[in-house]
């Protein structure tokens, strides 16, 4: 027993010091347990076959299917339209949504499905994922407090009351307390908690692709997107871009054209033979001064460009960096002489020679081998560059790799997700089976290919969960957990019901930071029930306290699979959870102790 306590303490210290990756620490725990003999080697590695780990792996695949088909990006855009560019408004809307979702399905599943949505949304808006993901995880955990099926501890305490011949909790008995904690928790997370998180920009640790903004900085570009409408009588009427020479004379780049009168006024790439017409809308890239000069000379009118429309443009058009190899036919030619736009249907927005951006007259400058060009145009034409011998694609922005590669499968992906949710909430199939069927369906239907499915598995999260689960088994089999529980009853059993509730809450909450809330509830709930009966008190308030406390797994990243899921994408450390989670636990404790005696009297 002392050995297990020592191992637990050492593990916590290593997590806090943060010198060794958390998944490596978890593997060290597995090895130590296997060598110690407290549990068998088979039990030490049992976490890798645990249903929770398999469920999370399946949910990663389902989430990847939503990402690859564009569903995640579309949901992110909708959330951005609702929340605007305000992180506060966005969280005030997002947190209740995930909480309600978690009240009727697995909180782990809800978070796994929403992570790609939040990441896509954060990248487009410039928000920091780390300021969004931990509040998302905590809101999902609180959401489990809202209903009987929201989380296993609720079902466990209700089942144990039934087995004891008592009236079990009904479906919504948990709702008043859970709702109060949700309101207080959301206000805390939005107005206090998120500011306790690291303020540095969080980047995807697995991504080596720069963002559009980084390309602009690299080439010394300070341009912005503008929207211009061609007026009747404009000299642009009937001419192509090559005829007008916008790049040469005005140093602006035309990204796209929106033709008046076409179906849904669809944005179209500007091809070499595209002739401009009156009332056409041009999406151009340039500085304020350049665009003003062009507008005055060519009879075009500037129009407002809302952020949501800019996002729509960026979904279809972007940039890429290419290199001119020595054998390129473009070497020793200017862009005009090489008929660059006519050949590639792309515009050159910047040129670098020997790591130095060329002056703005690069349009008439002879190109040299080794020059790098920043090209702008539709993603479709950018992808075609990979098969062209005259150019070597060096880098494409992260935004391009976030685009939906299977957009036509979006309805299929949505159908699979909805079917999974219906099956999980109705209990037609076990959650594990429903998730595995959904993951397999994503692959079979082509929403995600097998390579993308394997890449979607976050090994850090899976290994961390699988490695820590055997520690809970060791605590139980060694008697360490039972010792702590009985110690509490001996100390607080005769001190009054409210103080006993406080002790039960603290014990359950602390244990839930290191072992699963299911295991904690299984161990603590019988003690709470027995203590209440011995004292001649109503067991309901004590059992409710245990159920609520088991879901307050906020203070450590290993407290719940929900927390573990957001570690890597949020780039969190162990102490980040403690800084934000412990105050939230205190708020949950106070709220519970105030409401439980009112709703469930002790006598």
SS (H, E, C) 276-335: CCCCCEEEEEECHHHHHHHHHHHCEEEECCCHHHHHHHHHHEEEEEEECCCCCCCCCCCC
For residues 348 and 452, give the distance between their C-alpha atoms in angstroms, rounded to a whole number: 32
Strands laid side by side in the 224-230 sheet: 267-269, 253-258, 281-286, 224-230, 300-303
The helix/strand count (H/E) of the chain reads as 28, 10
Q: Which domain holds residue 237?
A: 212-315
- Asked if 59 and 51 touch (Cβ cutoff 8 Å), the reply is no
Inside any domain, residue 343: yes
Task: Mark whether 92 and 111 lie in a shared domain.
Answer: yes
SS3 516: coil
Task: Mark whether 58 and 198 lie in a shared domain.
Answer: yes
SS3 392: strand
Q: Which of 260, 288, 315 is the last residue of a domain?
A: 315
For residues 516 and 292, give the distance between their C-alpha atoms in angstroms, rounded to a whole number: 62
Inside any domain, residue 289: yes
406-433 pLDDT, tens per residue?
667 889 998 998 898 788 777 788 878 9
Task: Mark whether 24 and 84 lie in a shared domain.
Answer: yes
Residue 453: name the closest of 429, 430, 433, 436 by CA.
Answer: 436
SS3 352: strand
Output b/e per residue, 379-397; b: 16+ Cβ within 10 A. bebbeebeeeebbebebbb
User: Token match 């490596």: residue?
Assistant: 24
The first and second tokens of residue 265, run together, are 């006024």
**Tally of CB atoms within 10 A around 538:** 16
**Tally of CB atoms within 10 A around 114:** 27
User: Token match 């290593």: residue?
Assistant: 14
* CA 233 to each of CA 50, 213, 238, 514: distance values in angstroms, whole numbers, following the listed order: 72, 36, 11, 73
- Asked if 36 and 8 touch (Cβ cutoff 8 Å), the reply is no
What's residue 199's pLDDT?
Answer: 60
Residue 80: name the closest of 94, 90, 70 by CA.
Answer: 90
Residue 11: name the closest of 517, 557, 460, 508 by CA.
Answer: 557
Q: Which of 265, 298, 315 is the last residue of a domain?
A: 315
Neighbouring residues of 262: CB distance < 8 A, sequence distance ≥ 6? none
For residues 504 and 510, give the distance between their C-alpha atoms in angstroms, rounded to a whole number: 10
Distance of CA 298 to the CA centre of its chain: 45
**What DSSP assignment string belongs to 523-536?**
HHHHHHHHHHHHTT
Does 57 have pLDDT greater than 80? yes
Answer positive or negative: Cα dihedral of 155, 434, 452, 110.
Answer: negative
Count of residues making up the chain: 603
361-419 pLDDT, tens per residue?
677 788 888 888 888 887 778 878 877 778 887 766 655 555 555 667 889 998 998 89
pTM of the model: 0.61
Partners of 285 in the beta sheet? 225, 253
Task: Mark whether 25 and 144 lie in a shared domain.
Answer: yes
For residues 595 and 259, give the distance between their C-alpha atoms in angstroms, rounded to a whole number: 61
Q: Which of 346, 369, 401 is the last residue of a domain?
A: 401
Task: Mark whether 459 and 590 lie in a shared domain.
Answer: yes
Strand-strand pairing, 224-230 and 281-286: antiparallel
Task: Mark whether 27 and 145 lie in a shared domain.
Answer: yes
pLDDT level of residue 188 (50, 70, 90 thresholds): very high
Averaged pLDDT of the chain = 81
Q: What CATH number does the domain containing 241 carry?
A: 3.30.70.1450
Task: Mark whether 278 and 362 lie in a shared domain.
Answer: no
- Asked if 521 and 547 touch (Cβ cutoff 8 Å), the reply is yes
Task: Mark whether 361 and 460 lie in a shared domain.
Answer: no
Task: Mark whether 429 and 494 lie in a shared domain.
Answer: yes
521-574 pLDDT, tens per residue?
777 787 788 778 877 889 999 999 999 999 999 998 878 888 888 887 888 888
451-465 pLDDT, tens per residue?
888 888 878 778 877
- Asked if 272 and 305 touch (Cβ cutoff 8 Å), the reply is no
Inside any domain, residue 568: yes
Per the structure, the count of domains in the chain is 3
Inside any domain, residue 77: yes
274-312 pLDDT, tens per residue?
788 888 888 887 778 888 888 888 899 988 777 666 666
Task: Specify the DSSP class assigned to residue 563.
Answer: H
pLDDT level of residue 262 (50, 70, 90 thresholds): very low
The first and second tokens of residue 430, run together, are 């076990």
The first and second tokens of residue 558, run together, are 């290993």
Inside any domain, residue 48: yes
Task: Mark whether 59 and 25 lie in a shared domain.
Answer: yes
> Which of the residue ranges 66-75, 166-175, 260-269 has the most confident prediction, judged by mean pLDDT?
166-175
Inside any domain, residue 407: no
Task: Mark whether 239 and 302 lie in a shared domain.
Answer: yes
């Amino acid at each position: 027993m002392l050995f297990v306590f020592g191992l637990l303490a050492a593990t916590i210290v290593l997590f806090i010091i943060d010198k060794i990756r958390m998944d490596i620490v978890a593997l060290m725990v597995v090895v130590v347990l296997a060598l110690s003999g407290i549990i068998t080697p088979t039990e030490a590695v049992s976490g890798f076959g645990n249903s929770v780990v398999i469920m999370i792996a399946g949910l990663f695949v389902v989430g990847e299917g939503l990402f690859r088909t564009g569903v995640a990006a579309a949901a992110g855009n909708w959330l951005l339209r609702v929340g605007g560019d305000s992180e506060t408004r966005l969280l005030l809307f997002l947190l209740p949504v995930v909480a309600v979702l978690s009240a009727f399905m697995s909180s782990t599943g809800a978070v796994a499905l929403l992570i790609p949505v939040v990441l896509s949304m954060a990248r487009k808006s410039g928000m920091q994922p780390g300021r969004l993901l931990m509040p998302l995880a905590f809101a999902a955990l609180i959401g489990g407090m809202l209903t009987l099926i929201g989380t296993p501890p609720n079902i466990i305490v209700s089942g144990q009351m039934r087995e004891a011949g008592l009236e079990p909790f009904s479906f919504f008995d948990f709702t008043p307390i859970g709702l109060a904690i949700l309101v207080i928790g959301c206000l805390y997370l939005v107005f206090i908690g998120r500011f306790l998180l690291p303020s540095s920009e969080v980047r995807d640790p697995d991504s080596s692709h720069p963002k559009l903004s980084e390309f602009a900085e690299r080439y010394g570009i300070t341009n912005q997107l503008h929207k211009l409408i061609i007026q009747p009588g404009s000299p642009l009427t009937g001419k192509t871009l090559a005829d007008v020479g916008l790049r040469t004379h005005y140093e602006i780049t035309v990204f796209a054209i929106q033709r008046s009168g076409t179906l849904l006024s669809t944005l179209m790439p500007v091809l070499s033979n595209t002739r401009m017409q009156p009332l056409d809308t041009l999406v151009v890239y340039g500085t304020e001064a350049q665009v003003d000069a062009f507008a005055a000379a060519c009879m075009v009118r500037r129009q407002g460009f809302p952020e949501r429309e800019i996002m729509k443009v960026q979904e279809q058009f972007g940039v890429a960096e290419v290199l001119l190899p020595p054998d390129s036919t473009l070497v020793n030619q200017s862009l005009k002489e090489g008929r660059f736009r006519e050949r590639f249907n792309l515009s050159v927005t910047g040129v670098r020679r020997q790591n130095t951006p060329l002056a703005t007259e690069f349009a008439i400058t002879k190109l040299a081998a080794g020059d790098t060009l920043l090209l702008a145009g539709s993603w479709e034409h950018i992808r075609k560059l990979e098969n062209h011998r005259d150019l070597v694609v060096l880098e494409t922005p992260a935004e391009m790799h976030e685009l939906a590669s299977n957009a036509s499968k979006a309805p299929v992906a949505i159908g699979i997700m909805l079917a999974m949710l219906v099956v999980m909430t109705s209990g037609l199939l076990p959650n594990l089976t429903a998730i595995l069927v959904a993951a397999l369906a994503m692959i079979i239907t082509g929403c995600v290919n097998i390579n993308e499915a394997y890449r979607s598995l976050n090994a850090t999260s899976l290994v961390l969960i699988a490695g820590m689960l055997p520690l809970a088994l060791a605590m139980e089999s060694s008697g360490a957990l039972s010792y702590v529980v009985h110690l509490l009853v001996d100390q607080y059993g005769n001190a009054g019901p409210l103080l006993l509730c406080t002790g039960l809450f603290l014990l359950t909450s602390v244990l839930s930071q290191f072992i699963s809330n299911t295991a904690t509830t299984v161990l603590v709930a019988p003690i709470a029930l027995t203590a209440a009966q011995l004292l001649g008190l109503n067991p309901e308030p004590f059992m409710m306290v245990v159920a609520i406390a088991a879901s307050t797994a906020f203070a450590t990243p290993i407290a719940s699979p929900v927390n573990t899921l957001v570690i890597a994408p949020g780039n969190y450390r162990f102490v980040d959870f403690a800084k934000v989670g412990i105050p939230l636990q205190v708020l949950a404790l106070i709220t519970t102790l105030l409401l439980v005696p009112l709703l469930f009297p002790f006598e």
